[in-house]
């Protein structure tokens, strides 16, 4: 069963929606115009219930057809603080803000599925359409959950998707287990003792201490964690000092920690501060550690993944598979998967610029494919 003919029939409408959203990008929790457009379209489609303001600027629509199970489909709406480099007709009108991650396409694919499902209603139960704000680092999924999303709109399962540059256009990938990593961050302040650069004996040098620390925390990966489990520890900032001949009295380090396994997360949150504090103490310095727990890993539930893969093959045939390695990026769809069984899929964006790149643009050829996949998820789940 390939792309749904009815959805292919309004492909040009979807392109118009996507280009309008792309031209008017909005940052996290500022997606007011986008949310209003989404809500207005859902009402035009005949969606039974449309509620705005969930989790700030989120929109939820419900399509009903008798008694039955309830499946949620999710798309993210926010843009990024990036100045667009494209010269297309639908270039961003908001200088310094652009849809560099394809959320305009994700929103449009779910709108396309909503239009079709509201027209045909070839299912029994409820389809819950979740248009989420603030995925880009501001945990809009968690905000919607905390705002009572699943109390107000109970769902038995939830599904979402994201485009992937480099994967052939329209190819679908979904697999059980980890799809994306957790993303924790850390800030460290090392307090030492400043001195003249020519008199290091009078100092407690925070730069020497910090340099040793950069190496020491890699032992978390090489000597403390299970080598069969993925763990990345990256120091991405090291700031200290202002003069050639002055040893400063402090240094500041920051970075990110990525992993797929929740047990690894528990281990790292306990072990990381101890290594930092103990290492700094050996140099006579003091350390202040601010460990920020970020998005949890995105882990697909097994049965839901098998179901989603079956649907993907119905839509994309041999272009659908479960041959997808987990990625070290993060995604707040993970919060939904902590609450409900479900799966997160990839759709190929072709030979485009990478995500978060000023030359990126969503591939419009994906729109009917992704919309068909989401629509079939609902129809097959709600038989």
- What domains lie within the chain, and their CATH numbers? 5-180+297-381 (3.40.630.10), 182-295 (3.30.70.360)
Whole-model pTM: value is 0.94
DSSP string, 228-243: TS-EEEEEEEEE----
Distance (Å, whole) CA 367 – CA 345? 15
Q: What is the pLDDT of residue 185?
A: 97
In tens digits, the chain (383 residues) has pLDDT values of 589 999 999 999 999 999 999 999 999 999 999 999 999 999 999 999 999 999 999 999 999 999 999 999 999 999 999 999 999 999 999 999 999 999 999 999 999 999 999 999 999 999 999 999 999 999 999 999 999 999 999 999 999 999 999 999 999 999 999 999 999 999 999 999 999 999 999 999 999 999 999 999 999 999 999 999 999 999 999 999 999 999 999 999 999 999 999 899 999 999 999 999 999 999 999 999 999 999 999 999 999 999 999 999 999 999 999 998 899 999 999 999 999 999 999 999 999 999 999 999 999 999 999 999 999 999 999 99
**Nearest one of 362, 19, 341 to 156, comparing CA atoms:** 341
Predicted confidence at residue 361, as pLDDT, reads: 98
pLDDT score for 1: 52
DSSP string, 162-183: EEETTSPTT-EE--SEEEE-EE
Query: Residue 234's CB: how many other CB atoms inside 10 A?
Result: 13
Q: For position 324, what pLDDT does the model report?
A: 86
> Is-contact 108 367, C-beta < 8 A?
yes
The rounded distance, in Å, linking the Cα atoms of 107 and 58 is: 12
């Amino acid at each position: 069963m390939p792309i749904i003919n009815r959805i292919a029939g309004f492909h040009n409408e979807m392109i118009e929606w996507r280009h309008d959203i792309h031209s008017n990008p909005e940052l996290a929790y500022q997606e007011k115009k986008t949310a209003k457009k989404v809500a207005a379209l859902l009402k035009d489609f005949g969606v039974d219930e449309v509620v705005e303001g969930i989790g700030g600027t989120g929109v939820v629509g419900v399509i009903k057809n008798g008694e039955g199970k309830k499946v949620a489909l999710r798309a993210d709406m926010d843009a990024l603080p990036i100045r667009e480099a494209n010269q297309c007709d639908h270039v961003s009108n908001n200088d310094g803000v652009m849809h560099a991650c394809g959320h305009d396409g994700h929103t449009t694919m779910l709108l396309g599925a909503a239009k079709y499902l509201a027209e045909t209603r070839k299912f029994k139960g409820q389809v819950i359409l979740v248009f989420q704000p603030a995925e880009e680092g501001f945990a809009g999924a968690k905000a919607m959950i905390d705002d009572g999303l699943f109390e107000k709109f109970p769902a038995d399962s939830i599904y979402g998707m994201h485009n992937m540059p480099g994967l052939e256009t329209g190819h679908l990938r979904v697999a059980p287990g980890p799809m994306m990593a957790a993303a924790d961050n850390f800030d460290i302040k090392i307090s030492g003792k400043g001195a003249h650069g020519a008199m290091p004996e009078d100092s407690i040098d925070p730069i020497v201490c910090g340099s040793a620390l950069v190496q020491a925390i890699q032992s978390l990966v090489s000597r403390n964690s299970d080598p069969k489990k993925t763990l990345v520890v990256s120091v991405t900032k090291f700031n200290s000092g202002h003069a050639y001949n002055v040893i400063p009295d402090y240094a500041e380090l920051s970075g990110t920690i990525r992993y797929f396994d929740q047990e690894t997360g528990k281990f790292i949150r306990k072990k990381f501060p101890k290594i930092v504090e103990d290492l700094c103490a050996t140099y006579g310095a003091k350390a202040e550690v601010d460990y920020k727990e970020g998005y949890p890993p995105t882990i697909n539930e097994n049965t839901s993944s098998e179901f989603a893969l079956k649907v993907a093959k119905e839509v994309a045939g041999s272009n659908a598979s479960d041959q997808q390695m987990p990625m070290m990026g993060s995604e707040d769809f993970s919060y939904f998967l902590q609450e409900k069984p479900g799966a997160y899929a990839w759709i190929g964006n072709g030979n485009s610029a990478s995500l978060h790149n000023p030359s990126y643009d969503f591939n419009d050829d994906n729109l009917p494919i992704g919309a068909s996949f989401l629509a079939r998820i609902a129809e097959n789940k709600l038989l």
